[in-house]
């Protein structure tokens, strides 16, 4: 589906460029954007390598597992349908801890593993369980204490203080997570009524 949307947007852009006589501008913009994308990616390498290294050290030191233990009671509250000793709660807690530390590369496989564990508890294999929906909502909101991607983009564009947006981002992530949990709780009875 998403491939069809992208293809449609590209074709419409090219056709619009031809129809308006600005196809040269469209081509120039496409090439410049591709070059800028490569520059941004290269700029990410340094900061992402630094943070990935720090997060790997934190993980090796047990910080992720320690945070997962702290989140375990909260995870039990958010996912009441998951048995307390089930591996899904530990994986969910580790995924949230990885997101919190800005370890997106580690959070993604942990999130997939958590969904796999939650799927093993799901009786209806063709419909996501309440716990699966809650996990997706929380993961999408994604609380993070170190927004490395935003800092890297700001550094790439020579911001005087790339990290000055950290506190507003943290506050908005907390608000987004709170809204995601409320929406999950609000829409759950409505979806069951269908």
pLDDT single digits (tens) 18-44: 888 887 887 888 888 888 888 777 766
How many folded domains does the chain comprise?
1
- The verdict on residue 23 lying in a domain is no
Range of the domain at 86: 43-192
- The verdict on residue 37 lying in a domain is no
- The verdict on residue 60 lying in a domain is yes
pTM for this entry: 0.62
Which residue in 104, 110, 12, 101 sits closest to 64, CA to CA?
101
- The verdict on residue 74 lying in a domain is yes
- The verdict on residue 24 lying in a domain is no
**Stretches in the chain below the pLDDT threshold 50:** none
Start-to-end CA distance of the chain, whole Å, equals 25
- The verdict on residue 28 lying in a domain is no
- The verdict on residue 96 lying in a domain is yes
């Amino acid at each position: 589906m998403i491939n069809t949307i992208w293809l449609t947007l590209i074709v419409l852009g090219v056709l619009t460029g031809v129809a308006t006589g600005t196809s040269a501008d469209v081509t120039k913009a496409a090439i410049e954007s591709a070059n800028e994308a490569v520059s941004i990616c290269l700029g990410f390498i340094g900061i992402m390598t630094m943070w990935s290294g720090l997060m790997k050290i934190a993980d090796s030191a047990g910080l992720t597992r320690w945070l997962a233990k702290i989140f375990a009671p909260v995870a039990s509250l958010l996912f009441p349908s998951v048995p307390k000793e089930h591996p899904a709660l530990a994986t969910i807690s580790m995924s949230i801890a990885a997101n919190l530390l800005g370890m997106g590369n580690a959070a993604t496989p942990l999130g997939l593993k958590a969904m796999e564990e939650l799927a093993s508890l799901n009786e209806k294999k063709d419909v996501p369980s309440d716990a699966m929906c809650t996990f997706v909502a929380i993961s999408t909101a994604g609380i993070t204490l170190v927004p490395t991607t935003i800092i890297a983009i700001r550094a790439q564009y020579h911001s005087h203080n790339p990290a000055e947006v950290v506190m507003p981002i943290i506050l908005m992530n907390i608000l987004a997570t709170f809204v995601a949990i409320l929406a999950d709780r609000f829409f759950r009875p409505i979806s069951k009524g269908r």
